[in-house]
Structure 1
C-alpha cells in the first residue's frame, strides 16, 4: 500500500504497473474497499495500464490529517478528493472507473473539472442521481430504506455500534445470493474498522437528502453540482439487471447528460457488485471501451 497526502487526507492506494504510459483509477463503493477490484486491476495492468486503486475517505487505510476536519461524506467532497489525488500523483487525463460511491466521485470530478479524464465508467450508479430534489419512484424509495434509516437515532446507533452487521445486510440483499464468502466479507470489513467510517457514512446519506449541513469548505463544489452538468467525456455505464438497490429503471433516459460517446451495458443476472460478481466480463468491457 502506498500513500499520498491531499489537503485533508492521507490516501492509501494500491498500484499496478507504475511505469505504464496510460493510467486508470479504480474507485470502490460503499460498503466496500479497494479489494473490490482485486480481480480486475491485474488484468488491466497486463493490458498496459498503470492501475491506481485508492481507499475513499472514511475507509482504512485512508485517514484524515487533522482531528479538526469535519468527517464529511457529501458527494461533492468525494469528487474533490479524487481531483486532489489526480493532482498530487500528477496524473494526466486518467481513465476514471467507479463503482457506487466511487462512481459518484468520478462523475462529480468530471463535472467539477471538465477535461480531467480520458474516459469515464460508472458501475451500478446512474449519473445525475445525487440531488435531493430528484424524482424517486416508490419502488426506488423502498430500496433506499437504509438511507432513511440512517436519518433516525436508531439507524445512527446501528451504524456506530454494529457497523459490520449493517454493511453485511447490504451485501446479502443487493445481489443474488452466493456471490461472496464470509471470509471475503470479513476481510473487506477491515476497511470499516476505524472511527471515521460511521461518521462519514452517516453524514453522506444524511447530507444527500438534506438532513445534515455540508462542510462549508466545499460550498463552491456544492454550488457547481447543484444542477446536473452534461459531461463531455466518453462514458460507459455498466449495471446488473438484478441490482437490489439501484433499480434498472433509474438508468433510463441518461443519454441527455453525455455530450460525447455514450454506452450503457445491462448485465443479466448480476446484482450491485459487477466487478466482484463477474470480474472477467467487467474487465473485458473496460478493455474494449478504454481502447477507443
Structure 2
C-alpha cells in the first residue's frame, strides 16, 4: 500500500420532499448522454485506500484565516479545488489527487474553517459556520494563491460550497462536480417542517440545537464522527487507521463552535455575520448554476440527500448526473476515487 500522497437542512431535500412518497426518479449516467459533457480517456483502476497520506501540508493567509492545504501537481497545470465535508477532512481525496496529478492537474485541497491546521487570524473573528462564510473563504484562498479559475468539486459541506462558488462566482469556476447535487439553501427554507421520515434523518441537527448537544459534541467529537461515518456510508468498511487520520482534523480548537453554528444557522437559531447578508439574500433565491456540471450520487448514501430529479433543472449549462454503484456511501471521493476523479476530468474537457 502506497504511503505517498466541506444549505439549510431543507436544502438537502429541497423540492425532493415532494418526492418522498413518489416513485424513485434517480437519473442514470446514460440519462444525460446528450448533455454536452465529453468523456476523457478512462483513468486506471485504483482501489480505494491505495494511498494513505499527503507528504506536505502548506499554510497561507487568506481572508480571515491561515489556511492549511495540500498543493500537489505541476504549478502551471489547470487547478482542481477539492472540498471536504463534515465530519471528514482532506484525506477524503487522498486517492483522487494522484489520479488528477497524473493528468497534469494542480490539485488544491484545503482544510475548511474549523478543521486541521486551518486557524482564524484573530480571536475576535466570529466562529461562523454559515454557508456564505465558507464559500467566501474559498474565494479568498484562490486569491491568496493567485488562482484565477479552477474546477471546484466536493461532497457534503464541500459540495454546497462548490455549488455556491459556481452560482455566485462563475467566472472563477471552469466546472463543477457536486456529490448530491444542488445543496444551496436558506434559513427561510430551513424553518419549514419536513415530513417525519425526513426529519428523523436530521436527528443530529436537533441535538446540536441544544446546550446538551454542544457539550456532548465537544466531549465525544471522535465518537460522534465515527457514528456519522457509519450511518452515512453503511457499506463502507473503513479501518481504524483510515478513520483516525481524518478524525485528527476534528481536534481543531474551533471545530465545535463552527459545527454547532453551521447547523444552528440553518435552522434560524443563530445569526450570521452582517457582511454576508447580501450574499445570503442571493442564495436564498436558489440561483441557477450555468457552468458545466456533473452531479454524482452513491447507491448506498445513508445521509439525507435529494433525488436527482429534484435539482436537475437548477443546472442550466452542460450537465450530467452519474449514479455510482457498488455500495458507495456519502463520502464518495474516498469510497469511489476513480469515479470522482473521472468526473473532474470530464467536466473540464473542452
Give the TM-score normalised by the residue count of structure 1.
Answer: 0.94
Q: CA deviation at 1:217?
A: 2.7
Aligned twin of 1:163? 221
User: After the TM superposition, which residues 208-287 of structure 1 pair with which residues of structure 2 at under 5 Å, given as runs?
Assistant: 208-249=266-307, 251-268=308-325, 269-287=327-345
> What is the rounded CA distance, in whole Å, between the counterparts of 2:195 and 2:349 in structure 1?
37
Aligned twin of 1:113? 169
The match for 1:82 among 135, 138, 160 is 138
List, as ranges, runs of 4+ consecutive aligned residues in structure 1 with deviation greater than 6 Å.
none
* Residues 155 and 125 of structure 1: CA distance in aligned 2, closer, same or farther (over 3 Å): farther
Write out per-residue CA displacement over residues 210-240 of structure 1, whole angstroms, 9 at most, x where no aligned residue: 1111122322222221210011111111111
Report the secondary structure of 1:15's partner residue: strand
Aligned twin of 2:4? none
> What is the rounded CA distance, in whole Å, between the counterparts of 1:50 and 1:71 in structure 2?
30
Write out per-residue CA displacement over residues 66-111 of structure 1, whole angstroms, 9 at most, x where no aligned residue: 0010100001111111111111111122100111111111111222
> What is the rounded CA distance, in whole Å, between the counterparts of 1:235 and 1:59 in structure 2?
27
> What is the rounded CA distance, in whole Å, between the counterparts of 1:57 and 1:182 in structure 2?
25
Q: Confirm whether residue 56 of structure 1 aligns to residue 112 of structure 2.
A: yes
> What is the rounded CA distance, in whole Å, between the counterparts of 1:170 and 1:124 in structure 2?
17
> What is the rounded CA distance, in whole Å, between the counterparts of 1:183 and 1:107 in structure 2?
31
* Residues 131 and 255 of structure 1: CA distance in aligned 2, closer, same or farther (over 3 Å): farther
Aligned twin of 2:251? 193
Aligned twin of 1:104? 160
> What is the rounded CA distance, in whole Å, between the counterparts of 1:274 and 1:143 in structure 2?
19
Structure 2: give runs of 5+ residues left out of the alignment.
Answer: 1-56
Q: CA deviation at 1:125?
A: 4.9
More displaced 10-residue stretch of structure 1: 147-156 or 205-214: 147-156
Aligned twin of 2:44? none
Q: CA deviation at 1:131?
A: 4.7
> What is the rounded CA distance, in whole Å, between the counterparts of 1:270 and 1:138 in structure 2?
26
Q: CA deviation at 1:132?
A: 4.2
Structure 1: give runs of 5+ residues left out of the alignment.
Answer: none
For the pair shown, the structure with the greater C-alpha radius of gyration is 2
* Residues 140 and 130 of structure 1: CA distance in aligned 2, closer, same or farther (over 3 Å): farther
Give the TM-score normalised by the residue count of structure 2.
Answer: 0.79
Q: Confirm whether residue 66 of structure 1 aligns to residue 122 of structure 2.
A: yes
Kindly tell me the number of residue pairs found equivalent between the two proteins: 291
Given that 2:163 and 2:182 are in contact with CA atoms closer than 8 Å, whether structure 1 keeps it comes out as no
